[in-house]
Amino acid sequence: MTASLVPARRRSAGQLLLLAPTLVVGALMLAPLFYLVLRALEADAATVTSLLLRPRTFELLVNTAALAAGVLVLATLIALPLAWLTTRTDLPGRRILNVLAVLPLAVPGYVMAYALIGLSGNYGFMNAVFGVTLPRPQGWLGATLALSLYTYPYLYLNLRAALSGLDQTLEESARALGCGPREVFTRVTLPHLMPAMMAGWLVIGLYTIGDFGAVALMRYEVFSYALYLAYSSAFDRLYAAWIALILVVIALAVVWWEARLREDIRLARTGSGSGVRPRLTALPPLACAAAYGFSGTVVLAALGLPVAVLSFWLLREPVWPVLPDLLRSFSQSLSAAAPAALLAVLLALPVAVLAVRFPSPISNFVNRLAFIGYAVPALAFALAFVFFALEAAPFLYQTQALLVLVYALAFLALALGPIRSALYQARPNLEDSARSLGYGPVGTFIHVVLPCIRRGVTAGLVLVFVVAMKELPIAFLLSPAGFRPLAIQLFSRTSEGMLIAAAPYAAAIIAFSGLTVAAVLRHEGRLE
Amino acid sequence: MTDRVPAVEIPILVRRRPPVLLAVEGLTKRFFSGEAAAVEDVSFTVAEGELVSLLGPSGCGKTTTLRLVGGFETPDTGRISLRGRDITHLPPEKRGIGFVFQDYALFPQLTVLENVKFGLRNMPRAEADKRAREMLGLVNLADLASRRPHELSGGQQQRVALARTLAVAPPLVLLDEPFSNLDAAMRVETRQEVRAMLKQAGSSAILVTHDQEEALALSDRIAVMEGGRIRQIGTPAQIYREPVSEFVASFIGRSNILPAQATGGSAETIFGNLALAREAAGDVAVAVRPEQITLQPDPAGSGTVVGREFRGHDQLYWVRAGGRTVLVIAGPFPIIETGTRVRLEVCDCVVPLSG
Amino acid sequence: MNRSRCCLIAAAVLAAVPATAQNLTLYSGRGETLVSPIVAAFTEETGIEVDVRYAGTSELAVLLQEEGEASPADLFWSQDPGALGAVADLLAELPAEITDLVPSALRDDEGRWIATSGRQRVLVVSTERVEEEEIPESILDLTGEEYRGRVGWAPTNGSFQLHVTAMREALGEEETREWLEAMVANEAVVFSNNAAIVQGIADGEADFGLVNNYYLPRFLASDPEFPVRIAHFADGDVGNLLSVAAIGITASSDQQEEAAAFVEFLLSPQAQQYFASQVKEYPVTSSVVLDSDQPTLDMLETSAPDIDLNSLSDLEGTLELLREAGLL
């Protein structure tokens, strides 16, 4: 569409300029997976079958499925009513509720797990404050709780957007055809929410499959935990490689399956009339009370709990002795996250420009590839890079440069999203007029395109930066010696049962992650 | 639909008036206290089998009136009854009134057939299927039954929406700007089909539109609304020929509004003394339809042609006469060039206006 | 917005400046909380910075094998001598003035690793839920029905894995395998490490636990009422394995002298005192003032089984056994 405005000769020159870095990005995404397969195939068939065809593998599969199912169900049970309350009712205070509902994004799964664990036990919050020793939450229930309370906002944001975009006449039509409110919800509203629901489920599902911190702390044996064990306690590279491959296959299968399903339910709006703004349901007092009870419970569990437990642990011992360590960890986190954000944006720019301005099979393909880093579970992705570095790039092995590169690739999709939508909004004829005024392709990009997509670039930069700041699994596998970012410090202390020592790190992560939420709230519309 | 012959206008006064289906009395709706009412003291009736249009400019309250009848809004005061039963406070699904939305509101996740079956949920499955296919046959879409709404043209979507509403055989169908999403050519074609289908199904209907041509062509009666109130209600011919106010006269068709001194059955105007459609006295405004005026080139005439637009089947002339510009519609021939002096004559009687 | 971006870029550029190459690199299978104070003390005394890579002992051992000559590590400090035995080919011979500091039983026959502190495997039990008569004579008794679901262990932990290696040495491959399988069948509770076991017993997740001796004192130090106590198996039982944490210098290190200085520092009175009084381990040199209730290594020899630490290098075999038992 837009590309046709640019003369063919110039287009091919610009395309070539962009194609090289784009292909590099594609290769960087694929090469490590290639080495992962290579390493996995080193084993002879008998070893592989004896490793994989044992009851434990099946158990891991069942556990992984059970965890994903549990998290999806619980997250939906939390997110759907919350989204409905904040978009479709006149509940007083629904704006504040909206902010509170998204804030748990600032509490990563492993911090949530830390909080739940800190609640229980002999020294736990509940015993110290109320004299009740709760059993340590663990296994399926503990992992499901920790992950649902952290991930439900992804679904909430999607459902919220869909609910407020739902054409009210659809629901009114159904009522005119004789359906009561409940029937309207199940027959019209719910089907309409399905694409948003599935987009949210995809994000949460991928996160759950790939999560390692929460399941490790909750000692729930899913594939990613088994990968962690295979790597950390036995450094069993072969088994780790195979589990990583299984994880990659599961993740890609989930993505493929979701895409297929989405194909089936097309919800193109029919007609071009102005959709009526959804009307707010007036809640009777009793329903209002129930709504407050429900949302209060969610907010208390997802936000109040970690904050309370954390404050409790923080107050047990003075923080100042660990302050130098904390600062050092913080600056180490910073020293990986900041260059990673910069690199991610630099890599995303050519990929995005090529995809938006010069759509072609190749640019589309690389754009899909860019999501590999996002879809493939982090631990598996990082392991692939360990093999890649050992075999093909020993100079990168155990360096901060590799960690930064892997962060940039893993979070490339986060940078790509806002930059791409900014490019779609920027008018291509501005570029054409710059060219006609004598600017070359590079000059046009710097003077015209870049200022136009500044917001998108900043959004991508901030998102990648903040997510990388609290990243755990990749840091776990790829941190060079002496590199102890916040997440690692928190994780190693919590897994040693040293909850007091872990508290300052958890607090630092939560405080900093507040920025994530700010970024997410600001770019609510742009996040998928 | 194949039946594209415009329905013959039968003056409703000649027929025995059928029983009242819907009665709306003194309906008032104010969305924000302190602001002007969206609908104020609106009363009208719809007879069995009758098609009534609510016509007016945007913001006149016509859609709100329709939504009040449909049950999607609750009136502050007033009463709505269907076949004598008070339905003012019933939820929409309990009223048995069909509603066709402006954007058709077809359920995108369902096929055409499933959409039509949507309201037939209390019927046995086979029967519902049969009924839905019948309805699709009625709107000539039987072969598109398994398509999805987004695969249909606007006109087809429109017919599916109508079939879906008519499938449950509601005594009354409400249509909100049903043709506004269609292009001009489709609009003319579709509206006669819709009228024929409604008549065939025996449903009464209230149609909301801002398009006077549409209202005139489709309706048994028209209620012209302005500022939340009904200004005039009557058959299309009545509304056109005898508008009661300047607003109605200029909103329905085009009118030359002229000052006049009325003395009973006639009035003195710039065109001389003209017969009045109803008696009036003193300073009044009269409405003269452009087609009521004839032009004759005449060097001694009182008017001068200042503008002309050739429209094929007729011509529009703007004629300067008596200190004002008058619009005249004349046949395609002869062509009178601008600047020509003309003589103007008014045939038939003119309408004195109030307000 | 522009300014914040500039700040970010500046931060990125500053952050990308690499750490200096002249730091010692230590692979530590020992936990950070125990290691970082001693590393800090070393840096303060010598001015030599140490970058520590913390991970599981086994992980680091296999990582060293994987990396070979290219390893960035100068030192490998292990939870147990077994892991060091497994990578002995990659280690340099220590100078005699260092090896002479400890008795010959506490170092490699060929001088490639040396003990830094002693520890014993012990049974910890709940003071609330375990009666004296319930304490078993032998670690092998824990497979009994009365212990079903009550015993906590950490199969992924290096010290435990060494213990299994020792059991294979003392009891043979088959009996060890049977014991592991019987423990799994007896629903032993899996923890991720020793500290978690001790905490778990206090929290009621298990009643018995197989851990190293020095974990419980840490809890007791901050809370004398902590509801867990140490019990021992009968004298000579393989459950009372006496072991050491040990360290070696990689042959590939280009900072042999600095690395040796670190090892020497760990054997200094200052460090040994730290292990004894802070970590509650057993000192391997004689220059330490002990608390009255703290046994010396010599005193423990009666309770411990007679197993040569030099014979415990078959980590790979132990991992294979644990895998077969479904524990890894």
* Tens-digit pLDDT profile for residues B264-293: 888 988 888 888 888 888 899 999 999 999
Inform me whether the C-beta atom of residue A182 falls under 8 Å from chain B C-beta atoms: no
* A499 alpha carbon, distance to own chain's centre: 26
Q: Domain total for chain A?
A: 1
Q: Show the beta-strand stretches assigned E in A230-376.
A: none
Q: Which residues of A touch C51 (CB under 8 A)?
A: 480-483
**Contact present, C144 and C136 (Cβ < 8 Å):** yes
Judge whether A399 lies within some domain: no
Q: Residues, chain C, total?
A: 328
Phi, psi of B166 (to 5 degrees): -70, -20
Tokens coding C306: 């007679």
Please give, rounded to a whole number of angstroms, the shortest distance from the CA of A496 to a CA of chain C. 5
What was the pLDDT predicted at A420?
A: 83
Pinpoint the alpha helices (H) of B57-105. Answer: 62-70
**Chain A and chain B touch, per 3+ beta carbon pairs within 8 A:** yes
- Vertex B281: Cα angle to B278 and B283 (nearest 5): 115
Inform me whether the C-beta atom of residue A180 falls under 8 Å from chain B C-beta atoms: yes
**Contact present, A413 and A463 (Cβ < 8 Å):** no
Average pLDDT of the residues of chain A: 82
**What domains are defined for chain B?**
20-96+170-247 (3.40.50.300), 255-353 (2.40.50.140)
* Touching partners of A (3+ C-beta pairs < 8 Å): B, C
Tokens coding C182: 């019987």
**Contact present, A13 and A441 (Cβ < 8 Å):** yes
Closest CA to A331 of C52, C15, C54, C13: C15
Closest CA to A337 of A475, A241, A211: A475
**Cα–Cα distance measured from residue B85 to residue A519, given in angstroms and rounded to the nearest whole number:** 56
The verdict on a CB contact (< 8 Å) between A180 and B72 is no
DSSP B92: G
Cβ-based neighbours of C208, under 8 Å, separated by 6 or more: C123, C124, C125, C126, C130, C142, C147, C150, C151, C152, C201
Q: Which residues of A touch B154 (CB under 8 A)?
A: 271
Do the bridges between strand B315-321 and strand B303-310 make them parallel or antiparallel, or are there none, so unpaired? antiparallel
Q: Which residues of C touch A455 (CB under 8 A)?
A: 1
Percentage of chain C with pLDDT > 70?
Answer: 90
Inform me whether the C-beta atom of residue A282 falls under 8 Å from chain B C-beta atoms: no
Tokens coding B38: 């969206």
Please give, rounded to a whole number of angstroms, the shortest distance from the CA of A51 to a CA of chain C. 9
Identical topology for domains C2-118+244-294 and C119-241+313-324: yes
What was the pLDDT predicted at B2?
A: 41
Judge whether A118 lies within some domain: yes
Inform me whether the C-beta atom of residue A263 falls under 8 Å from chain B C-beta atoms: no
Judge whether A345 lies within some domain: no
**Contact present, A509 and A115 (Cβ < 8 Å):** no
Q: Is C235 helix (H, G, I), strand (E, B) or coil?
A: coil
Inform me whether the C-beta atom of residue A455 falls under 8 Å from chain B C-beta atoms: no
* Tens-digit pLDDT profile for residues C179-206: 999 999 999 998 888 888 998 898 888 9
**Per-residue pLDDT for chain C (328 aa), expressed as one digit of tens each?**
444 444 444 444 444 444 444 789 999 988 887 888 999 999 999 999 999 988 878 778 878 887 888 888 999 999 888 888 888 899 999 998 898 888 888 888 889 999 999 989 999 999 999 999 999 999 999 999 999 999 999 998 888 988 999 999 999 999 999 999 999 999 999 888 888 899 889 888 899 999 999 889 888 888 888 999 999 899 889 999 988 899 999 999 999 999 999 999 999 998 998 888 888 888 888 777 666 666 676 767 778 888 888 888 787 888 889 888 888 7
Which CA distances in Å does A129 have to A112, A120, A302, B355?
19, 11, 19, 79
**Contact present, C321 and C180 (Cβ < 8 Å):** yes
The verdict on a CB contact (< 8 Å) between A235 and C199 is no
What was the pLDDT predicted at C229?
A: 93
Domain containing residue A134: CATH number = 1.10.3720.10
- Assign residue C204 a region (left: φ > 0; alpha: ψ between -120 and 50; beta: otherwise): left
Q: Across the interface, which of A267, A268, A273 has its CB nearest the CB of B103?
A: A273
Find where tokens 């497994």 sit: C86
Between residues 73 and 102 of chain A, which touch chain C (CB distance below 8 Å)? none
* Touching partners of B (3+ C-beta pairs < 8 Å): A
Is the alpha carbon torsion for C56, C61, C67, C69 positive or negative?
Answer: positive
Pinpoint the alpha helices (H) of A120-222. Answer: 125-130, 139-165, 168-176, 181-184, 190-210, 213-217
- Its pTM stands at 0.77
Domain ranges of chain C: 2-118+244-294, 119-241+313-324
Classify domain C119-241+313-324 at the CATH topology level: D-Maltodextrin-Binding Protein; domain 2 (3.40.190)
The verdict on a CB contact (< 8 Å) between A458 and C1 is yes
Q: Name the strand (E) or helix (H) holding C1.
A: none
Look up the domain containing A98 and give its range: 53-231
CB atoms under 10 Å from CB of A193, counted, come to 21
Query: 3-state secondary structure string, B130-164?
Result: HHHHHHHHHCCCHHHCCCCHHHCCHHHHHHHHHHH
Find where tokens 């932990």 sit: C157
Average pLDDT of the residues of chain B: 87
**Cα–Cα distance measured from residue C290 to residue A373, given in angstroms and rounded to the nearest whole number:** 54
Closest CA to B112 of B149, B158, B64: B149
**Contact present, A348 and A419 (Cβ < 8 Å):** yes
Exposed / middle / buried, residue A113 (Cβ in 10 Å: 0-12, 13-18, 19+): buried
Cβ pairs A/C, distance under 8 A: 153
Tokens coding C164: 């299994």
Which CA distances in Å does A67 have to A137, A353, B16?
14, 39, 73
Superfamily of domain C2-118+244-294: Periplasmic binding protein-like II (3.40.190.10)
Is the pLDDT at B7 greater than 90? The verdict is no
The verdict on a CB contact (< 8 Å) between B103 and A174 is no
Please give, rounded to a whole number of angstroms, the shortest distance from the CA of A489 to a CA of chain C. 9
Judge whether A165 lies within some domain: yes
* Tens-digit pLDDT profile for residues B129-178: 999 999 898 888 889 999 988 888 888 888 899 899 989 889 999 999 88
Q: Which residues of C touch A229 (CB under 8 A)?
A: 156, 328
* B236 alpha carbon, distance to own chain's centre: 8
Tell me the sheet residues that pair with A281. Answer: A89
Please give, rounded to a whole number of angstroms, the shortest distance from the CA of A69 to a CA of chain C. 24
The verdict on a CB contact (< 8 Å) between A121 and C15 is no
Q: Which residues of C touch A495 (CB under 8 A)?
A: 192-193, 196
Tell me the sheet residues that pair with C114. Answer: C107, C247
**How far separated are the first and last CA of chain B, in Å rounded?**
43
Cβ-based neighbours of B208, under 8 Å, separated by 6 or more: B53, B54, B62, B63, B65, B66, B174, B175, B176, B177
Closest CA to A86 of A7, A6, A170, A153: A153
**Cα–Cα distance measured from residue A8 to residue A344, given in angstroms and rounded to the nearest whole number:** 30
**Cα–Cα distance measured from residue B81 to residue B76, given in angstroms and rounded to the nearest whole number:** 15
Closest CA to C235 of C305, C303, C140, C170: C303
What was the pLDDT predicted at A238?
A: 78
Q: Name the strand (E) or helix (H) holding A410.
A: helix A400-410
The verdict on a CB contact (< 8 Å) between C26 and A481 is yes
Is the alpha carbon torsion for B275, B276, B281, B285 positive or negative?
Answer: negative
**Contact present, B163 and B195 (Cβ < 8 Å):** no
Phi, psi of B25 (to 5 degrees): -130, 120
**Cα–Cα distance measured from residue A303 to residue A291, given in angstroms and rounded to the nearest whole number:** 17
Inform me whether the C-beta atom of residue A132 falls under 8 Å from chain C C-beta atoms: no
Please give, rounded to a whole number of angstroms, the shortest distance from the CA of C129 to a CA of chain A. 14
**Cα–Cα distance measured from residue A396 to residue A35, given in angstroms and rounded to the nearest whole number:** 15
What was the pLDDT predicted at A33?
A: 86
**Contact present, C175 and C168 (Cβ < 8 Å):** no
Q: Report the residue of chain C nearest A331, measured CA to CA.
A: C15
Find where tokens 């046994």 sit: C295
* Tens-digit pLDDT profile for residues A9-57: 445 566 777 788 888 888 988 888 888 888 888 878 887 887 778 788 8
**Contact present, A208 and A152 (Cβ < 8 Å):** no
Top mean-pLDDT range of A261-270, B11-20, B202-211, C316-325: B202-211
Q: Across the interface, which of A175, A268, A274 has its CB nearest the CB of B150?
A: A268
* Neighbour-count burial for C108-133, b at 16+ CB within 10 Å, e otherwise: beebbbbbbbbbbbbbbbbeeebeee
Pinpoint the alpha helices (H) of B202-258. Answer: 212-218, 236-241, 246-251
Do the bridges between strand B272-288 and strand B351-353 make them parallel or antiparallel, or are there none, so unpaired? antiparallel
* Tens-digit pLDDT profile for residues C60-115: 887 888 788 888 899 999 988 888 888 889 999 999 889 888 888 888 888 999 99
Residues of chain A with pLDDT under 50: 1-10, 266-275, 525-528
Is the alpha carbon torsion for C299, C301, C302, C303 positive or negative?
Answer: positive
**Contact present, C124 and C231 (Cβ < 8 Å):** yes
What was the pLDDT predicted at B355?
A: 56
Q: Across the interface, which of A135, A234, A454 has its CB nearest the CB of C204?
A: A135
Inform me whether the C-beta atom of residue A398 falls under 8 Å from chain C C-beta atoms: yes
**Contact present, A410 and A381 (Cβ < 8 Å):** yes
Is the alpha carbon torsion for B287, B292, B295, B301 positive or negative?
Answer: negative
